[in-house]
Chains A and B, each alone.
Chain A
Amino acid sequence: MAGRDTARAEAIGAVEAVWRIESARVIAGLARIVNDVGLAEDLAQDALVAALEQWPAQGIPRRPGAWLMAIGKNRAIDRIRRDQLLTKKQEEIGRDLQPRQFAPDDEMDAALDEDFGDDILRLMFVACHPVLSREARVALTLRLLGGLSTGEIARAFLSSEATVAQRIVRAKRTLAEAKVPFELPSREDIPSRLASVLEVLYLVFNEGYAATAGDDWIRPELCNEALRLGRTLAALTPDEPEVHGLVALMAIQASRLAARTDPSGEPVLLLDQDRSRWDHTLIQHGLAALDRAEAAGHAFGPYALQAAIAACHARARRADETDWVRIVALYDALAQVMPSPIVELNRAVAVSMAFGPAEGLDAVEALSAEPALQAYHLLPAVRGDLLLKLGRRDEARNEFLRAASLAGNARERAFLEARAAESV
Chain B
Amino acid sequence: MRFMLLKMSPRTGPSDLHEEAQFVRSLHAAGVLLSADLLEPPTIGARVEWPSGMPQVHPRWPREMQREIVRYWVIDAKSLAEAVEWAKRCPCTETEAIEVRQILEPGAHRPLRKPMARH
Contact = CB atoms under 8 A, between A and B. Distances in A.
Interface stretch (A12-20, A67-75, A388-396): A12-20
B63 interface: no
A245 interface: no
A210 to B, nearest CB: 16
Contacts of A14: 81, 84-85
| Chain B: number of interface residues, binned into ranges | 20 to 34
B84 A17 contact: yes
A158 interface: no
Contacts, number: 84
A279 B107 contact: yes
B88 to A, nearest CB: 8
B81 A263 contact: no
A246 to B, nearest CB: 13
A125 interface: no
A230 interface: yes
A232 interface: yes
A120 B29 CA distance: 10
A18 B113 CA distance: 20
Interface string B47-86: 0000000000000000000000000001010110110111
B106 interface: yes
B108 interface: yes
Interface stretch (A87-95, A187-195, A221-229, A361-369): A221-229
22 contacts: A13-B79, A13-B81, A13-B115, A14-B84, A16-B118, A17-B79, A20-B78, A20-B116, A21-B86, A120-B29, A151-B119, A152-B118, A217-B114, A224-B76, A230-B31, A231-B28, A232-B30, A235-B28, A258-B109, A259-B107, A277-B107, A285-B34
Interface in B82-119: 82, 84-86, 105-110, 113-116, 118-119
Contacts of A277: 106-107
A149 B28 contact: no
B107 A278 contact: yes
Contact of B81 (A16, A151, A221): A16
A280 B106 CA distance: 8
B6 interface: no
Contact of B82 (A21, A230, A285): A21
B8 interface: no
Given A235-B29, A278-B107, A281-B34, A18 B118 contact: no
B85 A21 contact: yes
Given A16-B118, A285-B34, A279 B29 contact: no
B118 A149 contact: yes
A57 interface: no
Nearest to A146: B78
Interface in A224-280: 224, 227-233, 235-236, 258-259, 263, 274, 276-280
B1 to A, nearest CB: 9
